[in-house]
Amino acid sequence: MENFFEQFHGRELRRLIKCITKLEAEGLTTTRYTDAGINSRSGNLYVWDESWSACIFIGSEGSEPTWCYPCFECGEEHMFDTHKEAQEYAQTYDHQCESCNPQEREEITE
């Protein structure tokens, strides 16, 4: 079994705690399928679960956790303050985004 504290210690552990505190405050819980890690490109720490509409991440230690909804079609990332906002956005655009959802574009041009 991998040691949890090999990846999360010091400031990374404090950032992880901020993310977990925020997601629990919004009524979400972690499960054995929840994943957390550090993005090697950006340095952002993220927590993700397939049952959520978005993932929560935090940049530098002084910042606040943010919800990110990545569009499954084009990959564009949309940021939200709450999971509820991200979930409503995902439902509105049928798990796509406003840029690439053909149904939404047709309604706009009509």
Average pLDDT rounded to a whole number, residues 3-21? 91
pLDDT tens-digit series, residues 37-78: 999 999 999 999 999 989 999 998 789 999 999 888 888 899
Q: Is the pLDDT of residue 5 over 90?
A: no
DSSP letter string over 21-46?
HHHHHTT----TT-EEEE-TTT--EE
What pLDDT is recorded for position 86?
93
Say how many residues make up the chain. 110
Q: What is the pTM of this model?
A: 0.83
d(CA 18, CA 110): 45
CA distances for 74 relative to 78, 80, 81, 84, 99, angstroms: 12, 18, 22, 22, 8
pLDDT tens for each residue of 75-101: 889 999 999 999 999 888 877 788 787
